[in-house]
Amino acid sequence: MKKEKKLNTSSLSLLSIAGLEPYKEKQGEEYMNPKQLKHFELILKAWLTQLQDEMGKTVSHMQDEAANFPDPADRATQEEEFSLELRARDRERKLIKKIEKTLKKIESDDFGYCESCGVEIGIRRLEARPTADLCIDCKTLAELREKQMGM
């Protein structure tokens, strides 16, 4: 009896989208060496491709599904669905810009370090969120400040 490979339960994790395994650091390995940078470049490019594909599907879906329903309730339902889909695509458009900015940071060797304090962000955090530009401590402080300003 073969052991089944356990699938990642997080919906479409970035590593699985890119077809990669988590990066295994070697003892004494320099942080953000060319191998690590290539790992993150592959993740980001796969994510970018996936988002661009989804945007293309939305356009064709909306063109194919656009219908002039005589019933106002059906028409309203379709408009609401399109509105939700367009809002999601707008968020993805902003994310695409952030991914492109991050890819430029890889090219200029600025990737992987906190923009606020300059410390290493960390491989695991970057695998979970490759566009992260703050270390966990600075991000936590920023969120606390944001919360205080909002209240």
The annotation status of 138 as a binding-site residue, yes or no, is: yes
Q: Which residues contact 79 (CB under 8 A, 6 or more apart)?
A: none
* The two three-digit tokens of residue 123, written as one number: 């491989």
Are 111 and 32 within 8 A, CB to CB?
yes
* The two three-digit tokens of residue 136, written as one number: 């966990």
E strand or H helix at 15:
helix 14-18
Q: List the alpha helices (DSSP H) in 24-71.
A: 34-65
Nearest-CA neighbor of 132 among 53, 54, 50, 40? 40
The annotation status of 114 as a binding-site residue, yes or no, is: yes
E strand or H helix at 123:
helix 123-128
- Binding site for Zn(2+): which residues? 114, 117, 135, 138
- Binding site: which residues? 114, 117, 135, 138
